[in-house]
Structures are given as C-alpha cells and as structure tokens.
Amino acid sequence: MKTLTVAIEDETFERAKRMAAERHLSVEALIGELLTGKTPPRSLHWLEECFRLMDQADGDSRGATWTRDDLYNA
C-alpha cells in the first residue's frame, strides 16, 4: 500500500472528518473509498440540504391537497 500526503483547506478537512465519522471510518479510509467509488462523494448530504431548505421556506398551501397524479401532471 502506498502513502500519499495531500494539503487541503481546513474547512474541507473538517467536512471530511464529519463525513468519515458518520461512516465509522478514518479520513484516510474515507478518501480511499471515495477514490475507488465505494462511497458516493455527496452521500445523503444533498437530501439533508433539501430538508433544511424546505424548513426555511415560508410556503403555505392554504389547505390545498394534491394527489400523486396531480403532481405528475403539473
């Protein structure tokens, strides 16, 4: 196995540490998985961001409801 040293921004490293911890991996193991395609790079963070944005939205349906077919036809 080869050893590689890289320099990354502090913020990027902190994100990598959190992402690795969520998967019970070391940062080194996470990077190895990312490079071999075993772990999708964005994971479910996009979904968490979607929910965060929905929580921030100030929408109001005014009691309207939709069926699945209504949404497909929209």
Q: Where are the domains of the chain?
A: 9-38
Contacts of 26 (CB under 8 A, 6+ apart): 20
Q: Report how far apart, in Å, the C-alpha atoms of 25 and of each of 16, 39, 40, 44 are.
A: 10, 11, 14, 16
Residue 44 banded pLDDT, cuts 50, 70, 90: low
**Is pLDDT above 70 for 11?**
yes
Phi-psi region of 60 (alpha: psi -120 to 50; beta: other; left: phi over 0): beta
Reported as a pLDDT band with limits 50, 70 and 90, residue 19 is: confident
Question: Which H/E stretch holds residue 32?
Answer: helix 27-36
pTM, 2 dp: 0.50
Residue 30 structure tokens: 């996470």
